[in-house]
Amino acid sequence: MRISFPSRGNKVVFPNVEKETVKQAAREEEWAAWLRLAIEGDAQAYNRFLTAVTPHLRAMARRRCDQYGAPPSEAEDVVQEVLLAIHLKRGTWDPARPLGPWLTTIVRNKLVDSLRRRGRHGSVPIDDVSDFLEAADETHEAADRLDTETVLARLKDPQRDIVRSISIEGEGIRETAARLKMTEGAVRVALHRALKSLAAFYRSD
């Protein structure tokens, strides 16, 4: 039995794939519109953006975990760290650029951070993300520091110290546990709970 697909010139067209690509592009444009409004101070738009984008981030994180050989349980922590990064770095997104690559870059970077903290190795080809990684100017850096302190102020120690050390400064779980005289398991649990708490705060702001 011979299966044929419609074509345009010499290019074979797969209707389902093309349709899904168009739908995803439309979703990303809607997310981008909400994020633009959120950056201007619209809290309701920010809530809609986070609610809509989180399932997409979770699916992406799970695919990346599978790609790098990480357990599926690691995906949820990656998602929470991505939400924290989005919250702190949302002002650095260029509204003139597509949102999808910016989100993908954050997910990849946070997954690699997570793998390294757990003693695994992961790498991201620099050509794959270099177009979307730009050095923030001093104004952005100052705003980021202020926003970071505002976010961390919502937490109590040791959660505040753990999030600052691991999610923001990039310290390893083992080093953080030793410094705080906690077990590595306790640090992981505290980090997970703190990030979930912060995600709830983003939606309530």
Helices assigned H by DSSP within 90-137: 99-117, 126-129
Is residue 134 pLDDT above 70, yes or no?
no
Higher pLDDT residue, 14 or 22? 22
Higher pLDDT residue, 132 or 179? 179
Model pLDDT, residue 192:
85
Which residues fall within 8 angstroms of residue 27, CB to CB, at 6 or more apart?
Answer: 52, 56
Predicted confidence (pLDDT) per residue in 151-192, tens digit: 888 889 899 999 888 888 878 888 999 999 999 899 989 988
DSSP 8-state assignment for residue 182:
-
Predicted confidence (pLDDT) per residue in 49-76, tens digit: 999 999 999 998 898 888 877 788 788 8
Please, which pLDDT band fits residue 143 given cuts at 50, 70 and 90?
Answer: very low
Is residue 128 pLDDT above 50, yes or no?
no
Model pLDDT, residue 88:
84
Q: How far is residue 110's CA from residue 65's CA, in Å, rounded to a whole number? A: 11
- The length of the chain in residues reads 205
The distance from CA 148 to its chain's CA centroid, rounded to whole angstroms, is: 16
Report CA-CA distances (Å) from 79 to 6, 8, 118.
38, 39, 16
Please, which pLDDT band fits residue 30 given cuts at 50, 70 and 90?
Answer: very high
Model pLDDT, residue 139:
37
Model pLDDT, residue 8:
57
Structure tokens at 46: 């920010």
Model pLDDT, residue 110:
86
Which residues fall within 8 angstroms of residue 37, CB to CB, at 6 or more apart?
Answer: 45, 46
Q: How far is residue 115's CA from residue 122's CA, in Å, rounded to a whole number? A: 6
Is residue 141 pLDDT above 60, yes or no?
no
Model pLDDT, residue 56:
92
Higher pLDDT residue, 124 or 59? 59
Stretch 118-138: mean pLDDT: 42
Q: How far is residue 151's CA from residue 204's CA, in Å, rounded to a whole number? A: 13
Structure tokens at 43: 């809290």
Higher pLDDT residue, 18 or 138? 18
